[in-house]
Amino acid sequence: MSDTKKLFVKTYGCQMNVYDSERMVDALGADGFETVETPDEADMILLNTCHIREKAAEKVYSELGRYRKLKEAKPDLKIGVAGCVAQAEGEEIMRRQPLVDLVVGPQAYHRLPDMVQRTDNGAKVIDTDFPEEDKFDHLPRGPKARRAPSAFLTVQEGCDKFCAFCVVPYTRGAEVSRPPERLLAEARDLVERGVVEVTLLGQNVNAYEADGWRLAKLIREMARTDGLERIRFTTSHPNDMGDDLIEAFGEVDKLMPYLHLPVQSGSDTVLKAMNRHHTAEEYLRLLERIRAARPDIALSGDFIVGFPGEDEADFRATLDLCAEVRYAQAFSFKYSARPGTPAADRAHVSEEVKSERLARLQEMLTDHQMAFQQSMIGKTLPVLVEKQGRETGQMVGKSPYLHAVHFQADSTMAGKIVQVRVEGSERNSLSGVCV
234 binds, among ligand F3S, ligand SF4, ligand SAH, none (CB under 5 to 8 A by kind): none
- Tell me how far the alpha carbon of residue 139 is from its chain's centroid: 21
Identify residues 333-392 at the interface with ligand SAH (CB under 6 A): 333, 335-336, 338
Q: Are 214 and 246 in contact (CB under 8 A)?
A: no
The string over 348-380, giving b where at least 16 C-beta atoms fall within 10 Å of a residue's C-beta and e elsewhere, is: bbeeebbeebbeebbebbeebbeebbeebeeee
336 binds, among ligand SF4, ligand SAH, ligand F3S, none (CB under 5 to 8 A by kind): ligand SAH
DSSP structural state of residue 342: G
Query: Is the Cβ of residue 29 or residue 105 nearer to ligand F3S in the bound state?
Result: 105
**Minimum distance between the CB of residue 114 and ligand F3S, rounded to whole angstroms?**
23
- Tell me how far the alpha carbon of residue 287 is from its chain's centroid: 22
Pick one of 39, 83, 262, 400: the residue that binds ligand F3S (CB under 6 A): 83
Query: Is 14 a residue that touches ligand F3S (CB under 6 A)?
Result: yes
Number of residues that bind ligand F3S (CB under 6 A): 13
Q: Are 64 and 47 in contact (CB under 8 A)?
A: yes
Q: Which residues bind ligand SF4 (CB under 6 A)?
A: 159, 161-163, 166, 168-169, 203-204, 237
The residues near 304 (Cβ < 8 Å, ≥ 6 apart) are 165, 264, 265, 274, 332, 333, 334, 335
User: Is the link from the previous residue into 235 a cis peptide, with omega within 30 of 0?
Assistant: yes
**Minimum distance between the CB of residue 105 and ligand SF4, rounded to whole angstroms?**
16
- Give the Å distances, CA to CA, from 195 to 30, 54, 66, 151, 220: 22, 35, 36, 7, 18
Identify which of 107, 104, 148, 108 has the alpha carbon closest to the alpha carbon of residue 126.
104
Query: Is the Cβ of residue 264 or residue 399 nearer to ligand SAH in the bound state?
Result: 264
Q: Are 49 and 12 in contact (CB under 8 A)?
A: yes
Lay out the site mask for ligand SAH across 148-167 (x = CB under 6 A, - = otherwise): -----------------xx-
Helix (H) or strand (E) holding 356: helix 351-374
**Minimum distance between the CB of residue 11 and ligand SAH, rounded to whole angstroms?**
16
Query: Is 214 a residue that touches ligand SAH (CB under 6 A)?
Result: no
Under DSSP, is residue 216 helix (H, G, I), strand (E, B) or coil?
helix
**Minimum distance between the CB of residue 168 and ligand F3S, rounded to whole angstroms?**
5
Identify which of 397, 425, 423 has the alpha carbon closest to the alpha carbon of residue 409.
397
Query: Is the Cβ of residue 166 or residue 196 nearer to ligand F3S in the bound state?
Result: 166
d(CA 405, CA 420): 8
Q: Are 78 and 101 in contact (CB under 8 A)?
A: yes
Query: Is the Cβ of residue 168 or residue 298 nearer to ligand F3S in the bound state?
Result: 168
**Minimum distance between the CB of residue 160 and ligand SF4, rounded to whole angstroms?**
8
Pick one of 50, 52, 102, 396: the residue that binds ligand SAH (CB under 6 A): 52
Q: Which residue stretch of 132-140, 167-175, 261-269, 402-410 sits at the interface with ligand F3S (rule: CB under 6 A)?
A: 167-175
Pick one of 23, 111, 135, 172: the residue that binds ligand F3S (CB under 6 A): 172
Query: Is 302 a residue that touches ligand SAH (CB under 6 A)?
Result: yes
Residue 384 CB-density burial (10 A; 0-12 exposed, 13-18 middle, 19+ buried):
buried
Q: Which residue stretch of 11-19, 282-290, 305-313, 360-368 sits at the interface with ligand F3S (rule: CB under 6 A)?
A: 11-19
Pick one of 28, 139, 155, 168: the residue that binds ligand F3S (CB under 6 A): 168
Pick one of 19, 47, 51, 213: the residue that binds ligand F3S (CB under 6 A): 51
Helix (H) or strand (E) holding 118: helix 112-119
255 binds, among ligand SF4, ligand SAH, ligand F3S, none (CB under 5 to 8 A by kind): none
What are residue 125's DSSP bridge partners? 102
**Where does this chain bind ligand F3S (CB under 6 A)?**
13-14, 16-17, 50-52, 83-84, 167-168, 171-172
Residues contributing to the site for ligand SAH (CB under 6 A) = 52-53, 165-166, 168, 203, 235, 237, 262, 264, 302, 304, 333, 335-336, 338
